[in-house]
Amino acid sequence: MDSYHRQPRRKEQPGGQDCKFCASLDPNFTKRDPMDRWVQGVPQDSAIAHVSENGHVLHLIFEIERKRAQTPSRSPELVKSA
């Protein structure tokens, strides 16, 4: 069998559900490709659970943005050193 042109078997076809984390933070979530929205496995709603690499990267970007929004902004002053 030619491995490049093989037919995917039923068990190889990804399934899943939409990532609730991304859906709550991404305003363009509904416009994403379904493969980029889906998560499967445990833990659910995490970057590693995303079916596609694009979904994984987008999830990480929104995690970083959320963490940056939660941290207090630092003043532009330089910290005095010894």
Residues 14-62: tens digit of each pLDDT? 557 899 999 999 999 999 998 899 998 777 889 999 989 999 999 999 9
Range of the domain at 50: 15-65
Instruction: Tell the burial category of 52 from Cβ atoms under 10 Å away from its Cβ (0-12, 13-18, 19+).
Output: middle
> Would you say residue 52 lies in a domain?
yes
pLDDT at 45: 86
At residue 29, the pLDDT reads 94
Condensed to tens digits (0 to 9), the pLDDT of residues 65-81 reads 999 988 876 656 666 77
Residue 76 lies in a domain: no
In a domain, 20, yes or no: yes
Number of domains the chain contains: 1
- What pLDDT score was predicted for residue 75? 57
| SS3 call for 75 | coil
Contact 53, 79 (CB under 8 A): no
How far apart CA 53 and CA 64 sit, in angstroms, is 17
- 10 found inside a domain: no
74 assigned to some structural domain: no
Residue 53 lies in a domain: yes
In this structure, is residue 42 part of a structural domain?
yes
Q: Which residue has the tokens 């995490």?
A: 46
Beta strand 17-18 pairing with 38-39:
antiparallel
